[in-house]
Structure 1
């Protein structure tokens, strides 16, 4: 934690965009049949929009109908014992323009999952929030082996 960070600190707009730019994997939340569904997506930032590729299905249907969605990313640094979270809320749309698709391809947006992912979906941010916080010290004897905080005592 640097001298300007508090134990629970709201991230600035620019800090949120920096964290989004430094990451490549998030969880997109869309509404399906009146209830939320969450999907992992790899993404790039293009003109301060989130862009991911998908096949036909729920994520594409949500984008075609231009429904609201949210994307969340988070992280943890065991050295500093700080965690962070960023949430982007906005509307989705399918990118149709080939020049826009080519510009996104130049950013190396390559699907992680096998199969055709021919549809480019853009999440336009209307709200962007984030926070950073100090994580509670784990108990070396009682913390699950899979808990990422254990890295701080390894």
Structure 2
């Protein structure tokens, strides 16, 4: 619990994976040459890695220069909110056997595009917080 921020609880790694598995839309942040880019992606989490599909373009080009990414997913209800952040390398899947396995996962584009490239994030760190929602305290 952090002081002065209301009720904030750190999530365990298991709780983080549970939330990742229960959701399917997040954001990936890449960084190349001092420029940070953030992309919304739909994803599939299997409990040890995060998988997403993409087309050739900025994300794949940036990952060939710097494989380290940050991935974030969050959610809320009327009474609480939460956020999970995974950091680690992201690699395009190249082996045909791995592509076939990835293609069998329940991961489909949200928009009508063909996305044949699979990328796997292997988190080196995983953290999360759960926040109790409440009105802002008096400031004066």
State the TM-score, normalizing by the size of structure 1.
0.78
Give yes or no for contact 2:29–2:69 (8 Å, CA) kept in 1: yes
What do residues 33-54 of structure 1 show as CA deviations (whole Å, max 9, x unaligned)? 4211100000012461111011
Alignment coverage as a number of residue pairs: 131
Which of 118, 125, 140 in structure 1 is aligned with 2:116? 118
Structure 1 residues 47 and 132 mapped into 2: Cα distance closer, same or farther (>3 Å)? closer
State yes or no: 1:64 paired with 2:64: yes
CA contact (8 A) 1:86 1:130 kept: yes
Separation of aligned partners in 2, 1:64 and 1:124 = 15
Cross-structure match for 2:31: 31
Give TM-score scaled by structure 2 length: 0.86
Residue in 2 aligned with 1:75?
A: 75
Q: What's 2:19 paired with?
A: 19
> Where does the alignment leave 5 or more consecutive residues of structure 2 unmatched?
1-5
Q: What CA distance in whole angstroms lies between the structure 1 residues aligned with 2:75 and 2:47? A: 23
